[in-house]
Amino acid sequence: MKQDYTETLNYVNTNSKPSDLRITDVRVADVAGLPMHCTLVKVYTNQGLIGYGEVRDGGSREEVLRLKSRILGENPCEIDKIFRRIKQFGGHARQGGGVCAIEIACWDLAGKAYGVPIYQMLGGKFRSSIRCYCDTDVGGKHTGKQMGAALKERMEKGFTFLKMDLGIGLLYDEPGALSAPLGFVGRFRNQNWRKKKASEMTLEDMYDRNRAYDNYNIAHPFTGIQITDKGLDILENYLAEVRGVIGYEVPLAIDHVGHIGIGTCIRLAQRIEGYNIAWLEDLLPWQYTDHYVKLSGSTTIPICTGEDIYLKENFRPLIESGGVSVIHPDILTSGGILENKKIGDMAQDYGVAMAVHMAESPIACMAAVHSVAATENLLALEFHSNDVPWWDDVTTGLPKPLIKDGYIQVPDKPGLGIDSIVDEVIAEHLHRDFPDMWASTDEWNFSSASDRLWS
């Protein structure tokens, strides 16, 4: 029997007509313990396709919701156009989260609309599997041997690249290990406010919180904190114990050294050069390019920074100056999937490798996977959720476990490769200050401002 065009369409997948795709809504859910607080994002369309994005810890749901009025009615496949419109609302130090979340969701929608994985739209992939480096925390007072045992467990799970903390936090209870102005050592003066919901906090709690953060937010060169020879001995011995457990075959990166000045950074770096450190991370505020140049020229250990930097042009001074050997963007801070690839490509032109920071949900993880699959100079992608047993259960459509033998296989499915977010799982882990999940955000539909950077 001869069929007409309309009848034929009954046997054809027409769930997406890319040129007619339009954004109709944006909704959020705040989830704690991924391992940190993350705002998951859904961008809805007129064709039933849903794109997934995420705002990382330190950002807020408002950062994405204030962009809603700027993207309603737009075609999400016009990703660069939308990004250039909204990127002015982002910023450094995790304040670009809304922009990155929307950018990622648009890539997810474009991939689903055209039926291809995101990496293919970026020019194809350099690798089919992504090496993950596993960050490892050991709470409370502990020894280097205990940290080494924790790292060894990661190795037994197949991880071939590791990271740990080594810094002044290990020295707070060691008399004579630190020299610092009174009151500067220690992160928070009053812990009571940390146990309360935002709605329960008093003005006195807010005052205590802000005073605590005043101390913590003083940049490294201005704290006056120095590690003494005794402190350096303790840190070196700790690292020697770690290497004594895990050996030297596996790369080991170091993070969270603390707010110390450049002179102490150099002394520490030179003291631990013999332990084959993969990189020293965020020793100084990223803005101090000249300090990074001096630091890099004073040690053989690769120097790394970048997780708080927003947009490619702000990575350029560090890369061009030779201040870093490894650039370390986060997909939820750098500007998103395409901007992250541009950062990696620029770094490669100067012989600088790229690792990617990632302490977020499987959504941000897969966004990073697609971006780095299409970026040649990748060292490794971070995984910080090894101790979150429900991390793999947040989404459907991905292999379980997603990370096997220290690698993530790059999916061939459209978009991010995620089928859905599992509401039953995230409902059990909603942030205490935001118990609503995917609630209406209509009040943001008509939010407006002078969206331009010139008169």
* Helical H segments across 34-75, by residue range: 61-65, 68-71
Measured between alpha carbons, how far is 320 from 293 in angstroms, rounded to an integer?
Answer: 10
**CB-based contacts of 95: which residues, under 8 Å, 6+ apart?**
59, 63, 310
Take residue 216 and report the two structure tokens written for it: 């913590």
What DSSP designation does 188 have? -
Measured between alpha carbons, how far is 396 from 362 in angstroms, rounded to an integer?
Answer: 10
Average pLDDT per run of 10 along the chain, which is 455 residues long? 59 73 98 95 97 91 94 98 94 86 98 98 98 92 96 97 96 93 59 78 83 76 94 98 97 96 98 98 97 98 97 98 98 97 98 97 98 98 96 97 97 98 97 94 85 70
Contact indicator for 37, 431 with CB cutoff of 8 Å: yes
Contact indicator for 319, 293 with CB cutoff of 8 Å: no
pTM for this structure? 0.93
- At 423, the amino acid letter reads D
Measured between alpha carbons, how far is 31 from 394 in angstroms, rounded to an integer?
Answer: 10
pLDDT of residue 60: 87
Closest by alpha carbon to 242, among 253, 232, 231? 253
Measured between alpha carbons, how far is 131 from 385 in angstroms, rounded to an integer?
Answer: 15
Which helix (H) or strand (E) element contains residue 382? strand 378-383
Q: What is the mean pLDDT of the chain?
A: 92
Each residue of 388-410: pLDDT tens digit? 999 999 999 999 999 999 999 99
Measured between alpha carbons, how far is 392 from 325 in angstroms, rounded to an integer?
Answer: 32
Each residue of 153-204: pLDDT tens digit? 999 999 999 999 999 999 998 999 999 886 666 554 456 777 788 888 888 8
Straight-line distance from the first to the last Cα atom of the chain, in angstroms, rounded to the nearest whole number: 65
pLDDT of residue 393: 98
Each residue of 285-323: pLDDT tens digit? 999 999 999 999 999 999 999 999 999 999 999 999 999
pLDDT of residue 7: 66
Q: Going along 198-257, which residue ranges are E strands?
A: 226-227, 252-255
User: Quick one: angle between helices 337-349 and 79-86, nearest 10?
Assistant: 90
pLDDT of residue 188: 46
pLDDT of residue 189: 46
